[in-house]
């Protein structure tokens, strides 16, 4: 018996437009079959999407502590936990001001009030190591804020500020801010300007007044560190 022969018409490059290509019947039959997927594939895709959403939740809830594209400050590099307050109404740009957890916030600065004692060089290094410096007091409002915070300690101690005399009676702030005697807050009779007391600090007590600076010996005292607050 003669074998069955299947014919196909092929359209060549120079063939007339009327030429038609016919695909063999067997090929046509396979093209009409829908592609089948494993029954578990939709569940796998749903699970992966759920895991991605869970991974994104922390990033959406944590307030970023740096502006987009900005280099992080030294303070930001040292601390992972932050406290933020809303400084301007929502919808008006960046309105959050942040300080490391445990620091005090006032205006555009963050303040660290130590609970341990150090000498002047160690105190200065400790503040610098945290991306800050010994506090530089520029305004009466800032001095009033620190005085009220230190009154809560309820004991008579000294806290280093960033004011030191390199030569007797020649006071200089650690950040090179010019010293203004008219904007200083010395206690009555201070500074005594003796060679044994070349450092300065805030003397605390329950009834401490706003004028509470002492010149003191550069030995072990508490300290106040200051750094610029982070805006987001």
Quick: pLDDT tens for 125-175: 999 999 999 999 999 999 999 999 999 887 889 999 999 999 999 999 999
Residues 6 or more apart whose CB falls under 8 angstroms from that of 192 comprise 215
CATH 3.10.100.10 fits 74-231, yes or no: yes
Give the helix ranges, DSSP H, for the chain.
25-31, 41-61, 74-78, 120-129, 140-151
Mean pLDDT of 7-12: 38
Rg from Cα positions in the chain: 36
The pTM of the whole model exceeds 0.85: no
pLDDT score recorded for residue 145: 97
pLDDT digits (tens, 9 = 90+) for 26-60: 544 545 555 566 776 777 888 888 887 676 654 44
* 3-class DSSP assignment, residue 110: strand
pLDDT for the residue 36: 65
Which of these, 210, 216, 191, lies nearest to 117 by C-alpha position?
216
pLDDT tens profile 53-101 = 676 654 444 444 444 345 677 888 889 899 999 876 555 556 889 999 9
Contact 173, 160 (CB under 8 A): no
């Amino acid at each position: 018996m003669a074998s069955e022969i299947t014919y196909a018409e092929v359209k060549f490059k120079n063939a007339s437009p009327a030429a038609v290509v016919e695909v063999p019947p067997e090929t046509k039959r396979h093209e009409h079959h829908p592609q089948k997927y494993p029954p578990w594939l939709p569940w796998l895709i749903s699970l992966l999407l759920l895991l991605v959403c869970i991974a994104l939740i922390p990033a959406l809830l944590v307030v970023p502590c740096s502006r987009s594209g900005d280099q992080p400050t030294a303070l930001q590099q040292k601390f992972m936990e932050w406290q933020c307050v809303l400084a301007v109404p929502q919808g008006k740009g960046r309105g959050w001001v942040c300080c490391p957890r445990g620091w005090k916030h006032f205006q555009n600065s963050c303040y660290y009030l130590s609970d341990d004692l150090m000498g002047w060089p160690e105190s200065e290094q400790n503040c610098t190591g945290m991306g800050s410096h010994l506090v530089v007091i520029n305004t009466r409002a800032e001095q009033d804020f620190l005085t009220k915070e230190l009154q809560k300690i309820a004991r008579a101690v000294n806290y280093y500020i960033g004011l030191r005399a390199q030569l007797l009676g020649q006071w200089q702030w650690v950040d090179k801010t010019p010293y203004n005697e008219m904007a200083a807050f010395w206690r009555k009779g201070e500074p005594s300007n003796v060679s044994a007391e070349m450092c300065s600090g805030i003397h605390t007590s329950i009834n401490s007044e706003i004028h509470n600076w002492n010149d003191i010996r550069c030995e072990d005292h508490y300290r106040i560190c200051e750094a610029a607050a982070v805006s987001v």
